[in-house]
Structures are given as structure tokens and as C-alpha cells.
Amino acid sequence: MDINVLVPIAQGTEEMEAITIIDMLRRAGVRVTVAGENEIITCSRGVKIIPDVLLDTIDTDLNFDAIILPGGAQGTDNLMKHSILGKMLEHQKSNGKMIAAVCAAPTVLSYFKIFDKGQKITSHPSVKDMLGKYTWINERVVIDGNIITSKGAGTAMEFVLSIIGKLCGDEIADHVAEGIVYR
């Protein structure tokens, strides 16, 4: 299995979501590249993460099987400042590849005009009003085509397991869930 995923993070990213995404994907055998806006990212609760690469150094034409955005209000605001991320997301969408976002991160997808009109999504309830152009659904995880969204830190494991299921198959998702005693 040769699956490559990009996880962009920025100052103020929600660490529980970022670590859950990175850890569980790696347990599934996925190659995860953590791209940060700085060499050390201080997350929303003070946890520090050292990214694999700097976000602004990534070739926008690289092909990833998925780009997954963790949330955090400040982190998502900071991700919106990186036009290179917008180009990567546009490339991802035009190639029919997966894009996923949790918590406040669907606002990044809205900002870069990644969602289609009427797209079915969810997010943290605090940013729901910022996503009024889309079909906001009050569910823990919403999958609409190649876009997966989720509500927040409390839904992070379910979110990542749905991503693993789509990328690697349900058998691997079940194996990861069993390994962490999720179910």
C-alpha cells in the first residue's frame, strides 16, 4: 500500500485533532507528511509539534491521496494566509482526490472555494454560520463525494477511521479501531 497524505498545521492548530489524524493514519500504514507554517508549531493548548516540512516549500503539483486539515480557530485562520495551501487544495480537487477537514477547518475549504454550491458538510457548531452557502448537516462526520468533514476533537477518531476506510478499506480501518480499543 502506497498512500500519501498531507496534514498542514499552523500556529494554533487543535493538537488533539492533529495528533489523532497523524497517529491513526500512520497506524494504518499511510505515509503522512506534516507540513507546518513554521519549524515548530505551538498548538491551541500549548503542545509543540515539529513538522516534517515547511508548508511553503511543498510543490503545489505534488499528488497526495488526501489532504487533511485539523481545526482550531487560530490554526485555521493562519492556514488561510497560505496561498500555496489554496493551490494545493485546488490541485487536489481538480484531480478528484480526497480533501478532509474537522472542527473549524471547513472554513479554510470555504475560503479557498473548494466546496461546491450546496456541498453537504459539517463543522464545529461555532463556525456553522460562516458556512451558510453549503448544506450544513448536524452529524459527527459527513462524507459528500471526495470531501469528508467532521465536528471537532470529540469526533476526531470517527473522522479518521472514515478516512482510513475510504483510503485503505474497511478491513484496515477495523484493524486500527481494534488496535486502539475504539469499539
d(C-alpha 31, C-alpha 2), whole Å: 7
Q: Give 144's Cβ-side CA count (13 Å radius).
A: 19
Cell numbers that stand for 117 in this block: 454550491
Look at the block and give the residue holding cell 487543535. Answer: 14
C-alpha dihedral sign at 111, 157, 15, 44: positive
d(C-alpha 172, C-alpha 162), whole Å: 11
Residue 130: what are its φ and ψ, rounded to 5°? Answer: -80, -10
Local structure of 91: helix, strand or coil:
helix
Catalytic site includes residue 168: no
Cell numbers that stand for 17 in this block: 485533532
Of the listed 7, 89, 103, 108, which one is catalytic?
Answer: 103
Look at the block and give the residue holding cell 489532504. Answer: 67
How close are the terminal C-alpha atoms of the chain, in Å?
25
Active site residues per annotation: 103
